[in-house]
Amino acid sequence: MSQSPPSDGRAHCFRILGVDPAAAGPTGYAVIEVLGRDCRVLHYGALKVPPKRRRASQGAVLHDVHVLLCGLIREFRPQIMAVESVFTALNMRTALRLAEVRGVVLLAAEQAGLAVRSYSPREIKACVAGYGHADKRQMQQMVRAQLGLQELPQPSDAADALAVALCHLQTDRLEQRFGIKSKELTPASRRNPSNSLTRSTRATTSRAVSIQSDR
């Protein structure tokens, strides 16, 4: 679903392509545009490959996902792709199928020279909803509120892709504001970055005291 037409390029903007790969269900996708403190949705949806096509070809899903993302990258020209990582609690068969889909997602980004950042499902939920175990309805409501949408984004897979893009946006802003690397941001510190800074400051102070004592 297209929310807003692409900007005319007169003002500097930053675009994020969010992707929620799926092993069996639809793969969600979303493009958001950031201009200063403002953020708007350009496009979102979910690709569902018909069961008949799935049965006819084992590579149908991979092909269609790759074609879709290549088209989105050409049309919207995002600066970065944010992707949900493989959920570790999945059974082996589902995890492998999800990894295959995620592989073609990364391939599309690589072919376009597009940078990629990955976030776990728990990170995304904690960042967007403030709770690492938020359900799909809660995520839809939070995405709607944060992006100022008129209605709940449907289907939930598309809302998840919007949440992935929002997670990257918020993480990037925290990194720029506080100089924190992404690997240092836990779900708790995403909600309250001062906690992370305080721990970092305490650690630095402790090392300094230790050095002074050694002297």
Looking at 33, 84, 123, 160, which residue is catalytic? 84
Q: Which of 64, 123, 157, 160 is catalytic?
A: 157
Q: Is 172 marked active-site?
A: no
Distance CA 164, CA 207 (A): 37
User: Can 33 be counted among the known catalytic residues?
Assistant: no
| Nearest of 144, 100, 125 to residue 187 by alpha carbon | 125
Answer yes or no: 157 catalytic: yes
Helix (H, G, I), strand (E, B) or coil at 119: strand
- DSSP string of 125-176, one letter each residue: HHHHHS-TT--HHHHHHHHHHHHT-SS--SSHHHHHHHHHHHHHHHHHHHHH
Catalytic residue among 20, 33, 123, 160: 20
Catalytic residue list: 20, 84, 157
